[in-house]
Structure 1
Amino acid sequence: MGIEAASNSETASSSAAAAAGGGGGWSRARGVVAKTLLLIGGALLLKRLTKSTTRWDHARLVSRSLSGEKFSKDQASRDPDHYFNFRLLTCPAAEMVDGSKVLYFEQAFWRTPQKPFRQRFYMVKPCPKELKCDVELSTYAIRDAEEYKNFCDRSKDQRPLPEEVIGDIAEHLTTIHLKRCDRGKRCLYEGSTPTGGFPNSWNGASYSTSELSVLRNNEIHVWDRGYDDDGNQVWGPKDGPYEFKSAPASSTNDMFTPLSFPIQQSVEKRIEGSFVLRE
């Protein structure tokens, strides 16, 4: 019985030691697994944080910023002698085979949004690799502009189909090359037409230039100007670009005060008649 007890005691001690050794091994294994998961998670997080923005990411951001309903209300309120309260409306219309986004754009006076005096297609895509820019924004005429009036305000089943949109893209008008803005600037992207602009015969001009800035909160600054053969500016604002900001739907009923309406209405009539249009 003493031998049996001793034997049982040794067996118990061996089992306890084995158990203790097994527990220690499991703890070490769990520690290794935890460290591995931590390293993998950290690597994935670092990759996500340091992932570079692709060329198409830039194009998509500019497309989103251009889209929507915007007004120059604030600027017109500050300086009604030089700026009108225009309404811009832009929305996606089609996508090209190479991924370029086609947007429909129209401009009208805020009081008569159903009567746009300027209609265009925008094509947004990454800049060619040989150019030092991020996004290429090209403007095209519309083959039958009347068919596209209030395109964005219509339900999708009442709009021309994407393949029809692509077929209605007419002559190329301008191209703006946009670059990301430097740190510390208000803008996200900015750019202009090439030196010398593009041919333009409206209102005595021989060529026109365009400058565009994309700011935060989908604010857009646009400066279009026309020049004659001698380099004299013959149309477009002289003091700075138009500033277009998104406006809540509830604010459109009070978009502008009656200040100078008789004068502005007569000018609006002239612009509406003249802008229908080759720019």
Structure 2
Amino acid sequence: MKKFVSIVFIIALISCKSSISNSEKITGNLNELVSIMQGQYSSEAQSKRDTSYFNISLRMIPIWKKRGHYLYVEQAMFTKQEKPYRVRIYKISQRGDEFVSEIYTLKNEKEWIGKWKTPNAFDVLTENDIELKEGCEVVLKRVSKNRFSGQTGIKTCPSELRNASYATSKVTITENEILSWDQGFDQNDQQVWGAEKGGYEFVKY
């Protein structure tokens, strides 16, 4: 009987250690993803190789560190960085072996432009000041060390830009680069905005 109990205890202990190990691994991968996402980027090199691409500035700065994994995001033409055309907050979380980047808009986004220089300024921002873009989250998987890839759902992200019906995003994130392909499609699945050849190559600097 004692021998049986000992065997059961050992099996339970191994199972417990395995569960903790998997949990630590997933948490480590989440931290890895958030770490390589943050930074300042530009698509300058790509725009010089191919003039159909613009030189775009992308900034992703960590905020709200005590609340989870959040990034403040500004995207602008490189020559007009004071007037970004995209101002967002990304919330990065884990879902099993997947990683989800939820997209939030800011209700008074003009008040926050340029505040990436002082991330602590966002401490006064509350969840009532941001709004989730339903269906626009990007679901990523870890492909290898410092490499994650994923996309939005199929026709889940509504868009009205340039008569679009929905938008899609395909993203690959590595240690020094983000490949991002955003496209808008009308109700007949015809592309109405976004790059046509492939994604934008944002290189960290």
Confirm or deny a common fold (TM above 0.5).
Answer: yes
Question: Which residue of 86, 93, 102 maps to 2:70?
Answer: 102
Task: Give the deviation of 1:165 after TM superposition.
Answer: 4.2
C-alpha change, 1:141 and 1:115, in structure 2 (3 Å) is same
Task: Count residues in correspondence.
Answer: 184
Q: Give the Cα separation in 2 of the matches to 1:60 and 1:200.
A: 31
1:62-106 Cα offsets, whole Å, 9 max, x none, are: 2122211100011101001x1001000111121475xx3111100
CA drift at 1:216: 2.9
Q: Tell me what 2:140 maps to.
A: 178
Distance 1:207-1:93 versus aligned 2 partners, 3 A rule? same
Runs of 4+ deviating beyond 4 Å:
none
Q: Which of 39, 42, 55 is the matching residue for 1:68? A: 39
Residue 208 in structure 1 maps to residue 167 in structure 2: yes
2:195 alignment counterpart: 237
When residues 155 and 216 of structure 1 are mapped into structure 2, their CA distance, relative to the original with a 3 A threshold, is: closer
Q: Which has the higher strand share?
A: 2
Counterpart residue identity of residue 181, structure 2: W
What TM-score, normalized by structure 2, do the two folds share? 0.82
| Equivalent residue runs for 1:10-25 within 5 Å | none
SS of alignment partner, residue 53 of structure 2: coil
Counterpart code for 1:189: F
Deviates more, 1:203-212 or 1:55-64: 55-64
Structure 1 stretches lacking a partner, 5+ long: 1-46, 248-279
Paired residue type of 2:99? V
Shift of 1:112: 2.1
Q: Does 1:168 align with 2:129?
A: yes
Q: Are residues 56 and 167 of structure 1, via their aligned partners in 2, closer, same or farther at CA, if it must alter by over 3 Å? A: farther
2:47 maps to 1:88: no
Distance 1:108 1:167 in 2: 25
Q: CA RMSD in A?
A: 2.1
Cα distance in 2 for partners of 1:111, 1:196 equals 33
> Which letter maps to 2:89?
F
> Retained in 2: the 8 A contact 1:56–1:125?
no
How does the TM-score come out when normalised to structure 1?
Answer: 0.61
Query: Which amino acid is 2:131 matched to?
Result: A
Partner residue in 2 for 1:56: 27
Contact 1:226–1:233 (Cα < 8 Å) also in 2: yes
SS at match of 2:81: coil
Q: Decide whether the 8 Å contact of 2:63 with 2:119 is kept in 1.
A: no
Kept in 2: contact 1:96–1:102 (CA 8 A) = no
The change in CA–CA distance for 1:155 and 1:210 in structure 2 (over 3 A counts) is: closer
Distance 1:238 1:155, change over 3 A: closer
Partner residue in 1 for 2:204:
246
The one-letter code sitting in structure 2 at the alignment partner of 1:164 is L
Change (3 A) 1:118 1:155: closer
Deviates more, 1:226-235 or 1:57-66: 57-66
**Structure 2 residue runs without a partner (length 5+):** 1-16
Larger Rg: 1
Question: Does structure 2 conserve the Cα–Cα contact (< 8 Å) formed by 1:119 and 1:145?
Answer: yes
C-alpha distance 165-56 of structure 1, shift in aligned 2 (>3 A)? farther
Pick closer, same or farther for the CA change 1:160–1:181 going to 2, 3 Å. closer
Q: Distance in 2 between matches of 1:95 and 1:71?
A: 25
